[in-house]
Amino acid sequence: MARLADVARAAGVSVATASRALSRPDLVASATRLRVLEAVQQLGFRVNPAARALTSGKTGLLAVCVPTLANPFFAPIIAGAQQTAEAADRHLTVVVTEGSARREGEVLGRLASQVDGFVIVAPQGSDTALLEFGTSTPAVIAERVVPGLASVVIDTPTGLRELVGVLRADSHRRVAYLSGPGGSWMDRLRRAALRESLGEDGELTVIGPLPPTFRAGAEAVSEILDRRVSAVVAYNSLLALGVVFQLHLAGVRTPEQISVASADDLAALGLGAPEISALHFDPAHLGAAAVRVLIQLIIGHEPASSHTRIPAHLQLRSTTGRPPAGGSG
């Protein structure tokens, strides 16, 4: 592999000049720069990341830290992050914490000196732990807000308020929320949004925390029916699909007897076939946005906004509608 020295020789300049021509072109006469660039082309030169890392301290490696890959919400985040990192000529390494705050802490500590920065998705640790970590290492938080740190979230709460508005207009009053995997910051935010927008005379029943699976949704149906709600909002579309499926089996019709909606829309799973009403957004955008912010942080440009919201759009489909007259609504 061609080294910078080869390029320099070919261009008839010193190594230092060749280096500058690549990393700080403004410091080099344009004619010189041109010769260097040409030589680079010619020789197919590419910097040796290790050598660069040794002097500059920048490895060109970004880490994205997710609680799990079993929840299909997280995979597209990684895809989006990877694409953006690649476009910025950086590598992305993925680490899975299995939802353990302890492991999260270990992983972050172990990697801190090996990567240029972190995207931490749905972190498990405490605010203070994250804050301490994030002030010593470039990091952006996704799907959570930690005061003082850069963060990127999908604005499901606003979407949920809109959804509740529609449900209320259809005179639903008793709503169940099938909550996602336990202890998630975002999940709390969603519950709060639902509760608040249901208003004084609305009633929110929280079922869960539940694993974000089809099976869990199906199994929740008996409780849903017990609770005599007229509408169900599920943490994700696998849960929602499980609910719809089991309701069908139980002979309960949607939306005539009960409305079902999902707080996310896992489009990639093609789960929309029964046309479940849902909040629509692309998790890949989350990953992409987080990496963009992270890179700004790393190169020292304070990002324009350290708190990015990605909108979620309400998609009303065929599983929501007016509740049965004289029902609970």
Partner DNA sequence: TTGTAGGCGTTATCAC
Partner DNA sequence: GTGATAACGCCTACAA
Contacting residues toward its own copies, per CB under 8 A = 1, 46, 48-51, 53-54, 59, 61, 68-72, 74-76, 78-79, 82-83, 86, 91-96, 113-114, 211-219, 238, 241-242, 245-246, 248-249, 268-274
Rounded least distance, CB 122 to its own copies, Å? 15
| Alpha-carbon gap, residue 161 to 195, rounded angstroms | 9
Q: Which 32-51 positions form the footprint of DNA (CB under 7 A)? A: 32-33, 45, 47-48, 51
79 vs 111, beta carbon nearer DNA:
111
Q: Which does 93 bind (CB under 5 to 8 A by kind): its own copies, DNA, none?
A: its own copies
Rounded least distance, CB 100 to DNA, Å? 29
Q: Which residues contact 270 (CB under 8 A, 6 or more apart)?
A: none
Size of the site for DNA (CB under 7 A): 29
Nearest to 267 by CA among 68, 80, 73, 83: 73
| Alpha-carbon gap, residue 11 to 114, rounded angstroms | 34
Give the residue carrying structure tokens 């890392």. 53
Rounded least distance, CB 23 to DNA, Å? 5
Q: Which does 17 bind (CB under 5 to 8 A by kind): DNA, its own copies, none?
A: DNA
Rounded least distance, CB 91 to its own copies, Å? 5
| Alpha-carbon gap, residue 122 to 141, rounded angstroms | 7
122 vs 146, beta carbon nearer its own copies:
122
- How distant, in Å, are the alpha carbons of 77, 97, 113, 121, 291 from that of 125? 20, 11, 19, 11, 20
Q: Is 14 in the site for DNA (CB under 7 A)?
A: yes
Q: Are strands 150-155 and 174-178 parallel, antiparallel or unpaired?
A: unpaired
**What phi and psi values does residue 155 have, to the nearest 5 degrees?**
-85, 65
Q: Which residues contact 305 (CB under 8 A, 6 or more apart)?
A: none
Which residues are near DNA by CB under 7 A? Answer: 1, 3-5, 12-17, 19-20, 22-24, 27-29, 31-33, 45, 47-48, 51-52, 54-56
